[in-house]
Structure 1
Amino acid sequence: MSGGLLERDVALGALEAALAGAEAGTGGLVLVSGEAGIGKTTLVRAFAAAAADRARVLLGACDDLLTPRALGPLHDVVAAAPGGPLAAALERGRDEALSALGAELSTPGRPTVLVVEDVHWADEATLDVLRWVGRRVAGLPAVVVLTYRDGEVDSAALRRTLGELQGPAVHRVRLEPLSRSAVALWSGGTTLTTATLYAMSGGNPFYVSEVLAAPDGAVPPTVVDAVLARVGRLDPVSRSHLEQLSVVPSRVGLPLARALLGDLDAVGDAERHGIVEIREHALAFRHELARRAIEGALTAGERIRLNARVLAALLAQDGPDPARVVHHAAAAGDDVAVVRHAPRAAALAVRAGAPRQGAGHHEQTLARAHLLDPAEHARVAEAYAWTQYHADRPGAGVAAGETAVRLREEQGDPEALATALASLSVLQWADLRIDAALASGERAVALLEGRGDTPARVYATVFLGTLLVNIDREAEAITLFDTALAAARRSGWHDLDGIARVFRGRSLMQRGDPDGLADCDAGIALARRAADHQGVMIGYLNTVCGLWRAGRYDDLGRYLDAGAAYGRDREYRTLDLNREWYRYQDLLRRGDWDAAEAGLTAMRGPEPGDDGLDRFALPDLARLAVRRGDDGAAALLAAARASSARSRSSFTSTTTALAGLEHGWSLGGAVARRAIADATALLAEHRGPGRGQPRGEIARWLRRVGEPVAVPAGCPEEWAAGLRGRWRDAADAFERLGAPYERALELAESGDLAATAEALEVLDRLGAAPAAAWARRRLRALGARTVPRGPQATTRAHPVGLTGRQAEILGLLADGLTNAEIADRLVVSVRTVDHHVSAVLAKLGTTSRRDAVAAAARLGVLAR
């Protein structure tokens, strides 16, 4: 008896229901998860076989390669059905592949079933594709089935993907170990006679099958022992063939298998013993655990020899996958083959939208840099530096960029050196090395002075301009952008026109010129036409930045949403998070403090390298903590001050100074004196056009802490009215802007009993404890007979720092609700719930919803 599908009726039913829906025109996505050996492959293969008469079945898998293949599952689909539109699209890049895949899943006549196995090994580009499909599958006549090991969800990109796959079209199926009675039924015994088997296997179907195949009824102590016992019963030739196959992860295409083994009858004995199986277009171990067990038993010398045979066979084929070539070259110790093929593998990965996979291939090349000539070494180092930038690892990017600059200096080519310096300047800025960034950028431009309108000169000029905008030297930046655009027209090199136009527009908006938005729109359009995805993402980020700095909140939302929509299918994490920072600031401004905190907390993230984003998140988190009167406010404010000092940008220094003023307003004394000194110095820096907004807000808060400041030039009316004592006008202006906290403060300062009572109600609702306490004192001073007590304080802070809304959402997660269902229950957006869930996971130190619920239960903080 086979136990492969015992106790899997519910899972099969979910897959069958999804197929029935696709036949009726409503597609579905099924996530099948579970531990290794639990039967995910057996389940989906049985479903695929049963569905073959009713649907087109497309099979793909992710591989456990040294660096995963970019879009590997789509290449599997193409290998099984060559010549279609998807094959041609894959050669042109990820965006074209998305359109072609949509067409594949929309084939008329009968539905399509797409199975992608082992998503825990997926590359970034594949994850982008899966998110894209997940958002559209409901409107397609298709079923998409994804399998993954839920205990191996290690990367942030995979967690993000699994978190975004939500909604009524998405179904989750988790396979559990077999029950004791199922193991007994499978083995032909009783629950009593199979007690040892069940205890050893834990109900894992793969382990049970291996133990049952062991000779003399022995129960091997481990899966590896069980597999090796089965292999040991084969003849020596069959064993040697299995050893050869074991060094190829996942599956072996039939052409490669024939090249390695000759006649496939050579593995007939292993096939009859259930160790390997011939699938469509490939030969594979029945389970990856079996392959690993055999490979792990090889000596180091055997692994090198067998990988060298695979490498030779791959290189004898036409157009081998370079990622596979690099994997086996590295395993064979063939350094020459690695440096020959890894740069192409990296370029293909980056083009497909998988910069981290590109970085992995570059790392293989750079580890063998002694085999490269200086020019090639410099090219690889520069390319690697940019992949690190997009993965938000600026420190590693700076190190690679410095290597490229050193090599270019040795070569004596000023244009190549200037390009390397300009690239390095951006990475240094991202790593908060501001002086070094300016020095690199200025040197790059100076090197090419008087050398004509070359692409290198345009490149260096544009990137120095971007640095100057970021440190508020907009007038100089505009001159550089005009110079670069003129040089581009004369030279005919227009690759950076879009970025130059966007930054020029942002510079104008920051100087108070509303026409700058037209430049930003033009720059984004140029980047879109050129399919410059990085340029488009940079365009949306900097347009949002300019709008925020100009106080144009009505325009902000549509650019935030357009940028998020464009970035959703692309893996530019640093640019995504930087843009979303403005959304969280706007949520804070509009009084949605829980959502703002959730987004800012998630923005900091759990992965190494995220510290570079603290400069954005920390000041706002500090200001929010001050407004709530949190115990950790002082520590957050100190961290924000240190980070802002390193960044030297008014983006963060202004928010930090304002947080300090609010803290000083609450506490007085030395805290207030320090805040006044910081803010007064900053106010003097906010001179020139376009600085009215920060000048006005700083001045208003300085007045609140007792400083006799005048209404600054260019001060927006909402701040100016308050400074002039016209509280009603100020409150009305903030109401129009949708800023309840600032409106409440103006009402509370009015001296009017009714207005102050209204302010207290708003402040209590926001959770602004220090301001609410101050408003209560104002009411008593105004002679109010009764003063509302406000929300009852909890007797102690939440043990893991969850807000009330976050604790509520944690309880709904424990009830098994999806993000979309939680959003419906709480009448908020799915995006808001996404931010809350990310913050809950971060505060509990977990990476999955299930682990978060388990951790909360252990800590006794699960609200139900």
Structure 2
Amino acid sequence: MPVALLERDDELALLAASLDRARTGAGGSVVLLSGEAGVGKTSLVRAFTAHARDGARVLLGACDDLLTPRALGPLRDVARAGAAALGQALRDGDRDAILAGALAELADPARPTVLVVEDVHWADDATLDVLRYLGRRLADLPSVLVLTFREEDVGEALRRVLGALAGPWVQRVALGRLSRAAVAGWAGGTALTSATLYRLTGGNPFYVSEVLATGDGGPEVAVPATVVDAVLARVDRLDDATRDALAQLAVVPGAVELSLARTLLGSLDVLAAAERGGMVEVRADAVAFRHELARHALESTLPASRRMTLHARALAALLARPDVDPARVVHHAVGAGDDAAVVAHGPAAARAAGRVGSFGQEVALYEQVLARSHLLAPAEHATLLVACSTAHQSMDRQTAALAATEAAVRIREELGDPVALGEAVVPLAPVLWSLLRPHDATREAQRAVDLLTPAGDGPALAMALSWLSWLRAEAGRPEEALATADTAVGTAQRLGVGVVEALPRMMRGSQRMLLGDPEGAADLDEARRLAVGAGHHVLIMYTHILAARIQWELGRTDEVLEAVERGLAHTRDRELEVYADQLLAHRHRCQVVRGEWAAAEAGLRGVVGQRDGHVTMATRYTLPWLARLLVRRGADDADAVLAWALDVAVRTDSPFELVPALLAEVESAWLGGDTERARRALDRLDERTAGDVVPGRHAEVRRWRARLEGATTDEAAGREDPYERALELADSGEVDTTLRALAVLDDLGAGPAAARVRRALRDLGVQAVPRGPVSATRANPFGLTERQLDILGRLARGRTNAQIAAELVLSVRTVDHHVSAVLAKLGVASRSEAVAAASAQGLGTDGT
């Protein structure tokens, strides 16, 4: 057995079994292979693929440790290896075609396919989207997808992808270090003679191999202080020409294609000694260090001046080649200290990343260029700032987007061109709105319109008018919003550009629907058709989101859920998860009014996340309803969430958030017996809904006003909300009817309202008032909630936080919060201690 595969039989067998299932038509598999650097992930993959090639197609790709990852880098590797459908899609640059092309490569019924993507902890955003898209569909494909990564380097984006990959077809394999016995056998000694070697390497296969390579292989081996020392000791044994060649390769991350290697080195013969010594591998298509750690170790010891010279050589070689990846050019330009090259090639690299959805890489590349703004003309500087702002907005980094946009505006103010200034001002409106500054946003939208109108019709004017319409709609002024949208549609239609027309038509349709015009739905459908024709997924998603939102305001929950499902289908088909939460917020609202409170609370909490200062659009729409539900359930954190919801709603100054938040305040006060506080909240509601055209909001205010005055109302007649129906029944003054109301409230888990009804029954003279169910928090000695008991059960079954998040459709951050709360209530410091403490008290953790 090769030494690199010591103690890897089980893992190799699992991979082989996955391939056998694909071969026999039993379905595909995803294998998530994790482990620290040097633990042997690549060696295991190579052993598996060597076996797999006998009867399967093997496609290999890798993510590189570049300054900013290549957009879709591993997929480009696969395409160069002969994946024709994917290669054509990559050349076209169409995101949907890339997803379809990648799927097609794994769907060949004639033979199974093994796709390996290594080092996905370095993957760009677009690559992660493709991997999630494929991973969710592998169960029905004759293929195996193997992803390798270092657990310690997993960032938030990859964590979300790993959390989304769940199901019986997904296997998680964590490679551990070698045992002391394995290290001793490898070193040719005993556990006793190899004790120092094991202690200093910890059983990491790469570290062991490098240390052993510095000695004579005998049992008494001198152990260098670090792996860097071990690598350098091996390099020092080589001749000058080989050392120079290795230094040149060390500044080029990942595998170096043969043509580039020959350009840089002159001849591959110079690597012969390093190849014989196992430091590098010369393959049919590329040259690479046997392990990236060795490359890093060598690169880290190069003097800065020499490193810059070597980067400059790599830069010159790349620029002499056709169709070079611009991200690689920028990487070496930065390494070479060639600011002019960064400025010359950075914008193209950023645009290429943005076209395929690698927005994080797009931002990083723009920032490299903007850091060298002294080489930019003012007009170009402003243009790049606006482009960088747009990329920030795509990632919901609104504070950074604001800084970039304001800088662009300052430059264009100095240049004195009103049209160019207006174009820079346009994106201020959505950014300021996202940052809960609606009045500033409206002012800037109007400013943009004023600057652009004298120049006549143009795309920027249509966009400025559309945002002004959006802001007027958010302020609860649909007539004004509709008039502005009408003007924007006219401007866009005169331009004859479909994608420009999509946003204003979307706004016009939504406001017409809100005002009761049946033609509004057709407008919204046409906006979606225009957005689809342009491939503009952001606008497509907002047509679904707005449709759900308007139907909600009109009280049509069936239509809300239909819009949500249509939108979610679009996100699933195209990996547009960033918009899913906004749709799910509406689904969970519908669950509240339909009495599905447990599912609604779990879902709403998952969308809201934790209070960390960052408020997404989904958060602002969800918070009031989460607060309202927690108030109804008497949750421990109801007051805190309500205060948060009111704070956000007041800052939005929009009835879409403020009305439900104030209604939650009314309910909280009424349930707590504070009539004056409830009346104050109702007075604020009267002020905010004065002139409001949405009848449902007026009806709720009237209903609560009547309830506070002890009057009855038929506003709830025909409502599907069992909670509201129960409250109306409880106001009847009749014992039997009130008892029916109590049963409904108990079934819902509406503890505070049920307590009021029990008091009312006693006032009616009922002697034996039903006690009601014992809550889950009182039924266990730790005071755990139902959700926390569920989390504890999953911990006992060995689930990670990411796996729990995927199973419960929550964010990992929310699960982290729940796990921390469980540990705190149990008074323990670790997951295993939590399970042990619960078991010791007889608290079931089997999830039943």
Question: Scaled by the length of structure 1, what TM-score is found?
Answer: 0.90
> Residue 58 of structure 2 aligns to a residue in which SS?
strand
Q: Is the 8 A contact 2:607 2:811 kept in 1?
A: no
**Residue 694 of structure 2 corresponds to residue 691 of structure 1:** yes
d(CA) in 1 for partners of 2:759 and 2:504? 53
Q: In structure 2, what is the Cα distance between the partners aligned to 1:505 and 1:221? A: 69
**1:683, 1:302 → 2: CA distance?**
72
Tell me, yes or no, if structure 1 residue 723 matches structure 2 residue 704. no
| Counterparts in 2 of 1:783 and 1:468: CA distance versus 1, 3 Å | same
Q: How much has 1:47 moved relative to structure 2? A: 0.8
- Is the Cα contact below 8 Å between 2:776 and 2:785 reproduced in 1? no
Deviations along 1:82-139, one digit per CA (max 9) or x if unpaired, are 7655245443222111112222222343211111111111111111101111122222
Partner of 1:379, secondary structure, is helix
Deviation by residue 1:536-590 (Cα, 9 ceiling, x = unmatched): 1221121111111111110111221222232235566654433332223223333
Matched, 1:13 2:17: no
The answer to whether residue 821 in structure 2 is matched with residue 856 in structure 1 is no
Distance 1:644 1:85, change over 3 A: closer
> Structure 1's 586 and 835: CA in aligned 2 closer, same or farther, altered over 3 A?
farther
Q: Which residue of 2 aligns with 1:713?
A: none
For 1:57-72, what aligned pairs fall within 5 Å after superposition? 57-72=58-73
Say which of 354, 359, 372 aligns to 2:358. Answer: 354
Counterpart among 644, 653, 658 of residue 658 in structure 2: 653
Report deviation, 1:607. Answer: 10
> Which deviates more from structure 2 when the two are superposed, residues 276-285 or residues 374-383?
276-285
Task: Name which of 606, 631, 636 aligns with 2:641.
Answer: 636
Flag the 1:126–1:606 CA change in 2: closer, same or farther, 3 A. farther
- The residue that corresponds to 2:741 in the other structure is 759
Deviations 1:771-817 (A, max 9, x none): 12112222323333433333335778999997413431442254146
Contact in 2 for aligned 1:602/1:842 (Cα 8 Å): no
Residue 405 of structure 1 contacts residue 421 of structure 1 at CA under 8 Å; is this kept in 2?
yes
Question: In the TM superposition, what is the alpha-carbon distance from 1:835 to its structure 2 partner?
Answer: 2.0
Distance 2:741 2:225 in 1: 70
C-alpha contact (below 8 Å) 1:354/1:571 kept by paired residues: no
Structure 1 pair 608–680 and aligned structure 2 pair: CA distance change class (3 A): closer
Q: Is the aligned partner of 1:49 residue 2:50?
A: yes
Contact 2:307 2:336 in 1 (8 A): yes
Q: 2:322 aligns with which of 318, 323, 334?
A: 318
Structure 1 residue 369: deviation in Å? Answer: 1.4
Alignment of 1:501 with 2:505, yes or no, is yes
Query: 692, 702, 707: which is aligned to 1:704?
Result: 707
- The structural deviation recorded for 1:532 is 1.1
Question: Which residue is 2:36 aligned to?
Answer: 35
Q: Per-residue CA shift, 1:817-847, capped at 9, x if unaligned?
A: 699998xxxxxxx98712276522244469x
Distance 2:354 2:616 in 1: 22
Rate the CA distance shift 1:356–1:236 in 2: closer, same or farther, 3 A: same
What is the letter of the counterpart of residue 629 of structure 1?
G
8 Å CA contact retained: 1:392, 1:609: no
Is 1:295 equivalent to 2:319 in the alignment? no
Distance 1:7 1:757, change over 3 A: farther
Distance 1:192 1:85, change over 3 A: closer
- d(CA) in 1 for partners of 2:820, 2:527: 41
Match of 2:756 in 1: 774
Q: Is the 8 A contact 1:346 1:362 kept in 2?
A: yes
Q: Distance in 1 between matches of 2:92 and 2:124?
A: 17
**Aligned with 2:790 (options 805, 808, 821):** 808
Offset from partner CA, 1:164-199 (integer Å, 9 cap, x none): 111222222221222222222322323333233222
Report the equivalent of 2:596: 592
Q: For structure 1, which segment, 755-764 or 282-291, has the greater mean C-alpha deviation from structure 2 after superposition? A: 755-764
1:834 matched residue in structure 2? 809
Amino acid at match of 2:736: A
- 1:194 aligned residue: 194
- Distance change in 2, residues 1:819/1:509 (3 Å): farther
| Structure 2 unaligned blocks of 5 or more | 822-827, 839-843
CA distance in 1, matches of 2:338, 2:355: 26
Alpha-carbon distance between aligned partners in 2 of 1:37 and 1:854, rounded to the nearest angstrom: 30
Q: How far apart are the structure 2 equivalents of 1:342 and 1:645?
A: 42
2:724 counterpart residue number? 742
> What amino acid does structure 2 have at the position aligned with 1:759?
A
Report the number of matched residues. Answer: 827
Question: Which moved further from structure 2: 594-603 or 523-532?
Answer: 594-603
400, 408, 413: which one pairs with 2:417? 413
State yes or no: 1:372 paired with 2:376: yes
Letter in 1 for 2:640: A
The letter for the 2-side match of 1:61 is A
Contact conserved, 1:665 with 1:704, CA < 8 A, in 2? no
Look up the match of 1:850.
Answer: none
Give the match's secondary structure for 2:148. strand
Aligned to 1:279, which of 277, 280, 283?
A: 283
Shift in Å at residue 50 of structure 1? 0.9
Q: Does 1:520 align with 2:524?
A: yes
Cα distance, 1:225–1:356 mapped onto 2, change above 3 Å = same
What is residue 825 of structure 2 aligned with on the other side?
none
CA positional deviation for 1:648: 0.9
**In 2: Cα distance, 1:641 partner to 1:561 partner:** 29
Residue identity opposite 1:698 in structure 2: V
Cross-structure match for 1:391: 395
Match runs of 1:213-612 below 5 Å = 213-215=213-215, 217-568=221-572, 575-605=579-609, 610-612=614-616
Match of 2:4, SS state, is coil
1:365-394 deviation line (CA, Å, top 9, x unaligned): 111112111221111111111111121111
Greater alpha carbon shift after TM alignment, 470-479 vs 114-123: 470-479
- What is the TM-score normalised by the length of structure 2? 0.92
Moved more, 323-332 or 480-489: 480-489
2:386·2:424 contact (CA, 8 Å) conserved in 1? yes
Q: Distance in 2 between matches of 1:837 and 1:404?
A: 36
Matched-pair contact (CA < 8 Å) for 1:227–1:293: yes
Q: 1:162 offset after TM fit, Å?
A: 0.7
Contact 2:86-2:101 within 8 A present in 1 as well: yes
Alignment CA distance shift 1:428-1:723 (3 Å): same
How far apart are the structure 1 equivalents of 2:287 and 2:663?
A: 64
Partner SS state of residue 765, structure 2: coil
In 1: Cα distance, 2:64 partner to 2:610 partner:
25
| Alpha-carbon distance change, 573 to 400 in structure 1, aligned in 2, over 3 angstroms | farther
- RMSD over equivalenced CA pairs, Å: 2.8
Q: Report the Cα distance in structure 2 between the residues aligned to 1:747 and 1:346, rounded to whole angstroms.
A: 62
Please tell me the residue identity of whatever aligns with 1:755: T
C-alpha spacing 1:567/1:676, structure 2 compared with 1 (3 Å): same
Amino acid at match of 2:108: T
Partner residue, 2:841: none
SS state at 1:318 partner: coil
SS at match of 2:457: coil
Structure 1 residues 173 and 598, CA gap change in structure 2 (3 angstroms): same
Letter in 2 for 1:420: A
Amino acid at match of 1:630: A
Counterpart amino acid of residue 754 in structure 2: A
> What SS does the corresponding residue of 2:402 show, helix, strand or coil?
helix
Match of 2:499, SS? coil
Amino acid at match of 2:146: V
> Share of identical aligned residues, percent?
50
Is this contact kept in 1: 2:795–2:831, CA < 8 A? no
Q: Is the CA contact (8 Å cut-off) linking 2:382 and 2:412 kept in structure 1?
A: yes
Amino acid at match of 1:184: A
Letter in 2 for 1:807: L
Shift of 1:468: 1.5
Equivalent in the alignment of 1:180: 180
Q: Deviations over 1:194-220 (max 9, x none)?
A: 233222222221122122223261122
Change (3 A) 1:706 1:799: farther
Q: How has the CA–CA distance of structure 1 residues 480 and 831 changed in structure 2, closer, same or farther, with 3 Å as cutoff?
A: farther
Alpha carbons of 1:615 and 1:414: their partners in 2 closer, same or farther (altered >3 Å)?
same
Task: Answer whether contact 2:777 2:786 (CA < 8 A) is retained.
Answer: no
Contact 2:459/2:500 (<8 A) preserved: no
Task: Flag the 1:628–1:236 CA change in 2: closer, same or farther, 3 A.
Answer: same
The one-letter code sitting in structure 2 at the alignment partner of 1:693 is: G
Counterparts of 1:41 and 1:35, CA distance in 2: 11
